[in-house]
Structure 1
Amino acid sequence: MSIAAHAWYDLPWSDWVGVVGFPLGLFGLWLTFKQASDAKDAAASANTAIRRTQSQIRANQLLVLIPQLRWIASELDFAIDESNERLARRHLDSWRWQANNIHGMLTSADSSQRRILKSLQESVGQAASAGTLLMGKNLKGESVLDRCDKARESIGRVCDQLSAWAGENVTQVTGEDENG
């Protein structure tokens, strides 16, 4: 028996499938890896876009709520000028509700707003104290102004800080706006 030498072109079709299939399998693995890498990059870009959109929505909500706080502060001043305890209490309660709402929005934003967050929390506490004083009897002959003075100062400080924040965020350009 002699073993005959075969040329490469004499391979049966089943062997050709294996020869051709190996490089195609490698190409398929490379293509899968590339698609997975592209999907990872797309997911990261989508995540960045989501965070930017959430930040813009939050800023837009705050830009609507800040004038409401300024209106409440103005109405509180009117109630104090009129020595109207009930109206002053109502506006102090409104302040507490709106300020806590804004505090929650800014807390979830980032830690760069610590000064505003601290001032908001202080104003809420001062408003609560003033409301309590207004509900009590006027034993010392204190006016509505005397009982609300610290709250007014704290509220004014918050209004100033939020106005500055609004000015910064209205003019802020996002990364997408710079590139597009």
Structure 2
Amino acid sequence: MQPAPEPWYDLTWFEWIGVAGLPLTLIGLYLTWWQARGAANSAKAATDAIKKTEQRMRANQLLVLIPQLRWIATELDISIDSGNSSLARRHLDNWRMQASHVHGILTTADSMERDILTQLQESVGLAKTAGGALLKDSNGSTLKACIKVRSAMATACDAMTVWAGANSMKSLSESSDT
């Protein structure tokens, strides 16, 4: 005769640890998955916050630089009106430097910024050409040498002003959302 099987509840303590281990393992796996999901969500939120901060910093930098570019364009107008070619050359050089700086800030461009980048690049090239023309012919007409660049500068300034308005409002609406 075979001995009668032991009832399931008549287990040794080692066997009870094994029985309890399975549900505890499953609970541990669930808790690990839950924490990993929370960490992934936190990482995504941190990445989004970094992107928003970078956008705000770019917008803030440009909100300072755009008026400087407008001022340079106005000062170039004054030097053109007075026929002062050396002063016009200085303003053209300032334009090239500041516009190149703005160009660098806008290199991670969306479609609106790509148009501004094109206009800035055109104005920088024309400023270089006009500065060279003024340097070669210091007795020539300052207006004639600067007319194309002045038009390109105005177009770029107008586009940047629109960009600044749109992005300053975007920054304000994003701030109120957070």
Query: What TM-score comes out, normalization by structure 1 length?
Result: 0.91
| Contact 2:116 2:156 (C-alpha < 8 Å) held by counterparts | yes
Q: Aligned partners of 1:108, 1:36: CA distance in 2, in Å?
A: 32
Structure 2 portions without partners, runs of 5+:
none
Offset of 1:42 from its aligned partner?
1.4
The 3 A distance-change label for structure 1 pair 137 and 102 is same
Deviations 1:15-41 (A, max 9, x none): 111011111011111111121122112
Give the corresponding residue for 1:147.
145
Deviations 1:11-66 (A, max 9, x none): 11111110111110111111111211221121111111111110011001100110
Instruction: Report the count of equivalent residues.
Output: 177
Q: Aligned partners of 2:112, 2:134: CA distance in 1, in Å?
A: 35
User: Does 1:132 pair with 2:164?
Assistant: no
Structure 1 portions without partners, runs of 5+:
none
| Contact 1:100 1:120 (C-alpha < 8 Å) held by counterparts | yes
Query: What TM-score comes out, normalization by structure 2 length?
Result: 0.92
The percent identity for this pair of structures is 51
After superposing the two structures, state which structure 1 stretch, 63-72 or 39-48, moved more.
39-48
The 3 A distance-change label for structure 1 pair 70 and 176 is closer
RMSD: 1.7
> What amino acid does structure 2 have at the position aligned with 1:177?
S
Q: Aligned partners of 1:162, 1:112: CA distance in 2, in Å?
A: 10
Query: Where in structure 2 are the equivalents of 1:21-170 lying within 5 Å?
Result: 21-137=21-137, 142-170=140-168
Q: Aligned partners of 1:127, 1:34: CA distance in 2, in Å?
A: 59
